[in-house]
């Protein structure tokens, strides 16, 4: 037993296929909704795309080797649905299948534990042309995809994450139109939300039917929400925003149904609900993944449809900011861990993403990103504070390993522990990469509160 097993805590980094792999039509890969969306004028900052991105498809061994050098023992990455099923269903692309075998095998060879996310937003374009997440048939399409992954990789990989941030990809993609596929309005959002929630549970049951010993979970975006003032209208507005951002997917999964009492507009979901759906929405998981970056302050706004609330932008609040204009608020992760721990049925929590984008520059071959070093140090302190208070948080993954394509923001925000020159694909480990390596080592050697608490 090594020290990581003894403290029962997974230290890692997270990545996503579309944001890193490139090779967008290489070796039989089909197009995804993001391949189409990035080709639409005005959708992505500076007109950028991810056709090459970090070229992880060709440089995976180099990047995984960096994990080994830094002593980061867990690696979360996703499978591109359209790389292994170019049309979303039907014919399998065996070259795509072989690629993920190589990634998994190289991780295992180096003693790095793979954690696979099955869906990280890159829906095959062929399925979107049939309605995508707004089409109820996607439940069966998703089951077919998950089944293929389980039959192919299930004997090698123990840790599985079914979905990445379902509220984000349905809300931004099917209501606001800011992300792929660029749809707008309740007529797209409500069915997409319901079908994603059903698919989430169906995917969980599918994995369990193949591998009863799989370590299985799913991930939710989570932001600590506070009212801007102590006025009742602001307090009620904050409750509605919290219900939408933080409760809308976890509660159906836990068997509690949708938060209709707080969000009456969700009663319109009845149009899409069929007999048996309430039961089908629920499924047991080994862990809940949380992706926590910041907090939001909310005020009442009667002009905002459905929720009568609006966010108070962080830049207007005189608070420290990241390049994404998100507030740096370490207590947010502590408070959200406690909030999710209150759900009956949450046995374990993994922080599957936390990190920060800052304007990194290379000087004399080095990247002195001290703000990110401080960010990780302060947020992990809050994670351990919650753990010592009894919250069953058992892992922390930094977003992300390498600078990458950050969706609608393009390549402007740099979140990586490793700097990437996107013209030359040169990698440079940042100061934060070494700092995170040292942080993991400190916990392993018992030089911090986590190991000390475990030894009591």
**10-residue mean pLDDT series, the chain (456 residues):** 52 98 98 98 97 98 98 98 98 98 98 98 98 98 98 98 98 98 98 98 98 96 98 98 98 98 98 98 98 98 97 98 98 98 97 98 97 98 98 98 98 98 98 98 77 34
Q: Look up the pTM and report it.
A: 0.96
Contact 82, 29 (CB under 8 A): yes
C-alpha pair distances (Å), 233 with each of 236, 309, 322: 5, 9, 29
> Token digits for 360?
């990194």
In angstroms, the CA 29 to CA 99 distance is 11
Kindly report the number of other CB atoms within 10 A of residue 349's CB atom: 24
Q: Residue 255: what pLDDT?
A: 98
Q: Residue 351: what pLDDT?
A: 98
Active site residues: 165, 353
Least Cα distance to 193 among 218, 207, 177, 173 occurs for: 173
As a whole number of Å, the CA-based R_g of the chain is: 21
In angstroms, the CA 112 to CA 74 distance is 6
Q: What is the DSSP string of 5-54?
A: HHHT-EEEEE--HHHH---TTGGGPPPBHHHHHTTSTTSSGGG---SSTT
In angstroms, the CA 327 to CA 318 distance is 9
Domains, in order of start, for the chain = 3-454 (3.20.20.80)
In angstroms, the CA 245 to CA 239 distance is 10
In angstroms, the CA 99 to CA 347 distance is 33
Contact 162, 207 (CB under 8 A): yes
In angstroms, the CA 237 to CA 299 distance is 6
Contact 83, 29 (CB under 8 A): yes
| SS3 category, 379 | helix
Contact 85, 148 (CB under 8 A): yes
Q: Residue 5: what pLDDT?
A: 38
Cα-Cα end-to-end distance for the chain: 18
Kindly report the number of other CB atoms within 10 A of residue 222's CB atom: 28
Residues in contact with 250: Cβ distance below 8 Å, sequence separation at least 6, in sequence order:
220, 288, 340, 343
The helix or strand, by DSSP H or E, that contains position 418, with its residue range, turns out to be strand 418-421
In angstroms, the CA 84 to CA 89 distance is 9
Contact 174, 230 (CB under 8 A): no
Pinpoint the alpha helices (H) of 329-456. 331-341, 370-388, 431-444, 449-454
In angstroms, the CA 368 to CA 147 distance is 44
C-alpha pair distances (Å), 328 with each of 19, 59, 253, 396, 413: 24, 32, 30, 18, 15
> Token digits for 343?
């759900």
The helix or strand, by DSSP H or E, that contains position 419, with its residue range, turns out to be strand 418-421
> Token digits for 293?
């970056």
Q: What is the DSSP string of 117-150?
A: EEESS--BHHHHTTTGGGSTTHHHHHHHHHHHHH
Fill in the DSSP letter of residue 112.
P
Least Cα distance to 53 among 323, 361, 401, 403 occurs for: 403
């Amino acid at each position: 037993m090594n020290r990581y097993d003894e403290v029962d805590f997974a230290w890692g980094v997270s990545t996503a296929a579309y944001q890193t792999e490139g090779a967008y039509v290489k070796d039989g890969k089909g197009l995804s909704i993001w391949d189409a969306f990035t080709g639409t004028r005005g959708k992505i900052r500076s007109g950028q795309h991810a056709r090459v991105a970090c070229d992880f498809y060709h440089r995976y061994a180099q990047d995984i080797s960096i994990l080994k050098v830094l002593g980061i023992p867990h690696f979360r990455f996703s499978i591109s649905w359209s790389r292994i099923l170019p049309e979303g269903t039907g014919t399998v692309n065996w070259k795509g299948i072989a690629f993920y075998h190589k990634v998994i095998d190289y991780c295992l060879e180096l003693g790095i534990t793979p954690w696979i996310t099955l869906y990280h937003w890159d829906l095959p374009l062929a399925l979107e042309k049939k309605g995508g997440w707004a089409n109820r048939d996607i439940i069966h399409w998703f089951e077919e995809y998950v089944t293929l992954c389980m039959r192919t990789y299930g004997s090698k990989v123990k840790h599985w994450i079914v979905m990445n941030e379902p509220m984000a990809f349905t809300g931004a993609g099917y209501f606001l139109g800011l992300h792929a596929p660029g749809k707008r309005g309740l007529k797209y959002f409500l069915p997409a939300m319901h079908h994603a929630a059903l698919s989430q549970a169906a995917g969980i049951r599918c994995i369990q039917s193949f591998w009863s010993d799989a370590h299985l979970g799913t991930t939710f975006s989570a932001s600590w929400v506070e009212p801007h003032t102590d006025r009742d209208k602001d307090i009620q507005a904050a409750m509605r925003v919290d219900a939408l951002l933080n409760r809308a997917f976890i509660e159906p999964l836990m068997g509690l149904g949708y938060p209709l009492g707080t969000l009456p507009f969700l009663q319109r979901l009845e149009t899409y609900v069929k007999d048996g759906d309430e039961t089908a929405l629920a499924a047991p998981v080994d862990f809940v993944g949380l992706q926590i970056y910041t907090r939001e302050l909310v005020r009442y706004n009667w002009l905002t449809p459905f929720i009568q609330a609006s966010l108070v932008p962080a830049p207007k609040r005189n608070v420290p900011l990241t390049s994404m204009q998100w507030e740096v608020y370490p207590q947010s992760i502590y408070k959200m861990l406690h909030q999710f721990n209150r759900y009956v049925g949450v046995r374990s929590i993994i922080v599957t993403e936390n990190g920060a984008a800052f304007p990194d520059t290379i000087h004399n071959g080095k990247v002195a990103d001290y703000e990110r070093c401080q960010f990780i140090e302060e947020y992990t302190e809050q994670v351990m504070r919650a753990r010592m208070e009894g919250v069953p948080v058992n892992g922390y993954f930094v977003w992300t390993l390498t600078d990458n394509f950050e969706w609608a923001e393009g390549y402007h925000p740099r979140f990586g522990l490793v700097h990437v020159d996107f013209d030359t694909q040169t990698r440079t480990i940042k100061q934060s990469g070494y700092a995170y390596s040292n942080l993991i080592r400190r916990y392993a050697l018992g030089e911090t509160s986590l190991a000390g608490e475990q030894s009591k």
